[in-house]
Amino acid sequence: MAENAAEPAAEHSATADKAAYPVGLRLAGRRVVVLGAGQVTQRRLPALVAAGADVLLISPSATPAVEAMAQTGEVRWERRRYTPGDLDGAWYALITTDDPEANRAASAEAEARRVWAVRSDDADAASAWTPATGRSEGVTVAVLTGQDPRRSAAVRDAIVEGLRDGTLAAPHHRVRTKGVALVGGGPGDPDLITVRGRRLLAEADVVIADRLGPRDLLDELPPHVEVIDAAKIPHGRFMAQEAINNALIEHAKAGKAVVRLKGGDPFVFGRGMEEAQALAEHGIPCTVVPGISSSISVPAAAGISVTHRGLAQEFTVASGHVAPDDPRSLVDWAALAGTRGTLVLLMSVENIAAIAGTLVRHGRPADTPVAVVQEGTTATQRRLDATLATVGERVRAEGIRPPAVVVIGEVVAVTPESALRPGTGSGR
């Protein structure tokens, strides 16, 4: 039941064999004295600051991270060694110096003043132990296991992870948040949804899911969960947006916990705002859970850094679902052709030949590298490399199908190995 960084006991106090009594300290506005500013302190300080403690740090030196906390005023730092009397007014103390003698003296002062104190060098000589802690949605988990801090951390991780992804069944007994959660599911790999999205999915009564996104997760839902397919397959079966909105409204009004699971991020070409507006019209609360957009994650999964230093200082995400000469197009392709930055195009497979031709006509070099990444982050991911001159024909010949992300720019040619070849690294 040791403080995580504690060494085995050097002194054996009368209470060493007794179980610790767990308690939650409410430290807001209360003085906490921290002696020493090394790695242990660096790990502990954020939680003390988050608890609102009035932290007085005493140490001749500090790690850069601790120093930064002092600079921003989160903790008060006195650059000196411990001297007797430093624990005056403290409610709690953290003793972590690299001087065993100072630690012993501070520990004795804490005992005399009845200040609970943790020691990083000698758990048995301390009056308090730090549990392994973690948090998930308002729940604090604190684990003490005896002389095995790694086990404490492992138990903590298992519980927090289970709460986050919903695999640990711990239903809320308070009233559940009513309404609809618009959850960004990420690009398709089920591991790329956020922990909040996954937890809401595990708590849902009704899930309305798109074709894109982490569809594998739907298989894991318990049988009582109603899954509605809102697949919008191009030129195929189509659930009109209005029908989706109506389904959201109807189930939310029936008091169900509704998750609208969308591919990528709900607000990146995802019609998420239209759904939020439809819900607002009916006074239905809506929570937006951001997701990992395919516009960044799919290039990354295919090994493309959209802003490689020295090559691109901007990247633009555009939709190519209407051709450049279509009067409905809102994209200024001529202006995009004039930039040096990376272009990331979604929904552009059908129009890629026309788009590439337009970019070249307006000045982008015809030999600009282009990558097309189909079904990124999934088991069937494939990447096609071409140039602006060849991409239209290559996409057709290779049978590239949506969903695909097109990346245009010099960054496409950069690989981890290319830094070793002259002229392809950074610095241009």
Ligand X SMILES: C[S@@+](CC[C@H](N)C(=O)[O-])C[C@H]1O[C@@H](n2cnc3c(N)ncnc32)[C@H](O)[C@@H]1O
- 294 contributes a contact to ligand X by CB under 6 A: yes
Q: Which of 124, 210, 256, 262 is catalytic?
A: 210
Q: Which of 205, 229, 232, 385 is catalytic?
A: 232
- 293 contributes a contact to ligand X by CB under 6 A: yes
- Are the C-beta atoms of residues 95 and 119 closer than 8 Å to each other? yes
- 405 contributes a contact to ligand X by CB under 6 A: yes
Report 88-127 residues binding ligand X (CB under 6 A).
none
Judged by CB under 6 A, the residue of 305, 375, 394, 407 near ligand X is 375
- 214 contributes a contact to ligand X by CB under 6 A: no
First to last CA, the chain: 55
- 59 contributes a contact to ligand X by CB under 6 A: no
Non-local CB neighbours of 210 within 8 Å, separated by 6+ positions: 185, 230, 231, 232, 261, 262, 263
Mark the segment that binds ligand X (CB under 6 A) among 69-77, 118-126, 304-312, 370-378. Answer: 370-378
- 269 contributes a contact to ligand X by CB under 6 A: yes
**C-beta closer to ligand X: residue 279 or 346:** 346
Buried residues in 143-167 as b, exposed as e (16+ CB within 10 A)? bbbeeebeebbebbeebbeebbbbe
- For the chain, what is the largest distance between any 2 Cα atoms, rounded to a whole number of angstroms? 84
210 is catalytic: yes
Least distance in angstroms from the C-beta of 212 to ligand X: 5
- 187 contributes a contact to ligand X by CB under 6 A: yes
Q: Measure the CA–CA gap between 57 and 302, rounded to whole angstroms.
A: 46
**C-beta closer to ligand X: residue 212 or 337:** 212
- 190 contributes a contact to ligand X by CB under 6 A: no
Least distance in angstroms from the C-beta of 405 to ligand X: 4
Report 340-369 residues binding ligand X (CB under 6 A).
346-347
Mark the segment that binds ligand X (CB under 6 A) among 105-113, 130-138, 164-172, 398-406. Answer: 398-406
Mark the segment that binds ligand X (CB under 6 A) among 12-20, 21-29, 144-152, 265-273. Answer: 265-273
Mark the segment that binds ligand X (CB under 6 A) among 51-59, 120-128, 131-139, 402-410. Answer: 402-410
Token representation of residue 362: 């307006």
Judged by CB under 6 A, the residue of 106, 126, 298, 331 near ligand X is 298
**C-beta closer to ligand X: residue 5 or 404:** 404
| Listed residue (212, 271, 216) closest to 242, CA to CA | 271
Least distance in angstroms from the C-beta of 216 to ligand X: 12
Judged by CB under 6 A, the residue of 57, 132, 208, 212 near ligand X is 212
Residue of this chain nearest to ligand X (CB atom) = 264
- 265 contributes a contact to ligand X by CB under 6 A: yes
Least distance in angstroms from the C-beta of 214 to ligand X: 10
Residues that bind ligand X (CB under 6 A): 187-188, 212, 263-265, 268-270, 293-295, 298, 346-347, 373, 375-378, 402-405
Q: Which residues belong to the active site?
A: 210, 232
